[in-house]
Amino acid sequence: MQMGLVADRSRCSGCRCCEVACSFFHTGAFGYAGSRIQVARDDRECVYIPLFCRHCEDPACATACPTAAIAKEGAGRVVIRAEECIGCGDCTRACPYAVPEVYEIPRMDAKKGVALICDLCEGDPQCVRFCANEALRYEPLEETRGLGAEGHMAEVRALLSRSPLSLREGRGRG
């Protein structure tokens, strides 16, 4: 069974423990730079939205990648082969879940010059384990795909129409 992440935005407090746990798992350092999940906020509405790869059935990022560094693996996960990634950002521009100038999926690692994408922590997502409010769940992909990019983007556009949506202070693109 293929698994993926689901976010319950009504439970997200914006604490960013998910980001720190993800970064520590991938880099061995506590911080945000290595995180594959990002938390966006709408200060006026006091809404937080965890953002991550949805492991699409037909990933636009893979189609857009000029070096074929992005592919689906047997378990249905979208993976980036860093040794083949040239850091061009075509994947980010192609992702239907990204909002230009606010957040990007995959996220570009400026230091390494490669794209970063949620890899589900090899089947044990640290963001889920360390989310105190249980805003993140690890569930069958069939359920996560039912949420769809269209519904997600409609919600983000509605938030943007009321006030700017941004990443937490100290986090920028790249």
Does 152 or 81 have the greater pLDDT score?
81
Q: Is the model's pLDDT at 168 over the cut of 50?
A: no
pLDDT by residue (tens digit) across 2-22? 788 988 888 999 999 999 999
CATH number at residue 45: 3.30.70.20
For tokens 């992005």, name the residue.
70
Domain that holds residue 82: 3-167
| Total tally of structural domains belonging to the chain | 1
Does 111 map to a domain?
Answer: yes
Average confidence (pLDDT) over 97-104? 62
| Residue 174, domain member (yes or no) | no
Cα separation, 14 vs 84, whole angstroms: 34
**Considering the domain boundaries, does residue 55 fall inside one?**
yes
45-78, pLDDT tens digit by residue? 788 888 888 888 889 999 999 999 999 887 778 9
Give the separation between CA 137 and CA 127, rounded to whole angstroms.
9
Q: 173 with 101: CB under 8 angstroms? A: yes
pLDDT at position 42 over 90: no
Residue 173 within any structural domain of the chain? no
Q: What is the DSSP letter of 25?
A: H
Q: Is residue 172 part of a domain?
A: no
